[in-house]
Amino acid sequence: MNTDMNTEVSAEHGNRERLVDSLRHVVGEAEDLLKKAGNAGSEEFKLARQKFENQLKLARTELDRLGENAVHRAKQAARATDHAVHEHPYAAIGVGAALGFLLGMLISRR
């Protein structure tokens, strides 16, 4: 049961990491576009650009917070797994052996 929880936490962590990476990429590209746009245009464009830059700063801050949160949760999951293995070493060995056996069978079928 604890293994199921760790698997869910790991999957959630992986999804968050992909989301954070994707958002960082989008924010980075948006920043590059702003730099390339330079000092072009009207006062209206300048106001829109300033508003967009402020939103990018907020997004960057939120992404950093999400990244820190993801790292913290990953560390918690690692501690919980470590604790479970120390509390039940023989069960952990058995699970590892069973997974190794199943993986070996799957590989040998190909």
- Reported as a single tens digit per residue, the pLDDT across 30-75 is 777 776 666 566 777 777 778 778 888 888 888 888 888 888 999 9
Please, what's the b/e burial string for 90-104 (b: 16 or more CB within 10 A of its CB; e: otherwise)?
Answer: eeeeeeeeeeeeeee
Phi, psi for 40 (deg, rounded to 5):
-70, 145
Provide the percentage of residues in the chain whose pLDDT is more than 90: 32
| Closest CA relative to residue 21, chosen from 67, 65, 59, 57 | 67
Q: Where are the beta strands (DSSP E) in 13-81?
A: none
Domain layout of the chain by residue ranges: 2-109
Mean pLDDT of 77-105: 93
Mean pLDDT of 69-87: 92
Which region among 17-21, 54-58, 70-74, 88-92 has the lowest average model confidence (pLDDT)?
Answer: 17-21
- Does 28 or 78 have the greater pLDDT score? 78
